Amino acid sequence: MEYALRLVSVKSPRHYAVSFLGIIDLLAIVPSYLSIFFAGAQSLLVLRALRLLRIFRIFKLSYFLAEMRFLGIAISASLRKISIFMLFVIALVIILGSVMYLVEKGANGFTSIPDSIYWAIVTITTVGYGDISPVTPMGKLVASIIMLLGYGIIAVPTGIVTSEMALAARNKLQKHEACPNCGKEGHDNDADFCKYCGGKL
């Protein structure tokens, strides 16, 4: 009822429904109704904890919301680069897993190509469960190469997001530059004119 009343009372119901806090409200409601139709869906009630994020709005902590938006912009800007990189990693894992299957000759846990690919994923992500491990010298050499590649692969997405964050921070600073007429700062991000003297920014 509360969610329906929010949709009725806001100016743009569609905008609220797809907003960050609107999605959180919806996620807090849906598990209650899913538990009626599906057994075991009660465990999804933990999603109600997401509503604690509304504390930002209650205490008017808009600074934190702005920082969350800033992080969201950086992540969304880097999604295309990361997805292309992940496609490369998937191709690499398939190739290296297949190589390990051939090198180990289907023994020592490498009984199929999917099992070998699973081992390559576990190794390249530096998780290393140890349930499958190479025994032959050539297998150990390939495993060592995969382990070293894993460290580099973990660092690349971090670097992509970090560079996007630095770029977003630079753009943010450029929007807050001083007025050329009066020299005052502190203008809104979307401001075209100075709020103190009216000069063009």
CATH number of 64-175: 1.10.287.70
pLDDT of residue 144: 93
- For residue 165, with 0-12 CB atoms within 10 Å meaning exposed, 13-18 middle and 19 or more buried, which class applies? middle
141: pLDDT confidence band, cut at 50, 70 and 90?
very high
Q: What is the pLDDT of residue 48?
A: 63
What are the pLDDT digits (tens) for 67-113? 777 778 888 888 888 899 999 999 999 999 999 999 998 888 899 99
Q: Is the pLDDT of residue 60 over 80?
A: no
Could you tell me the residue ranges of all domains in the chain? 1-60, 64-175
State the average pLDDT for the chain: 80
Residue 56 has pLDDT above 70, yes or no: no
Q: List helix spans (H) across the chain.
A: 2-9, 13-18, 20-37, 55-58, 62-104, 113-124, 137-175
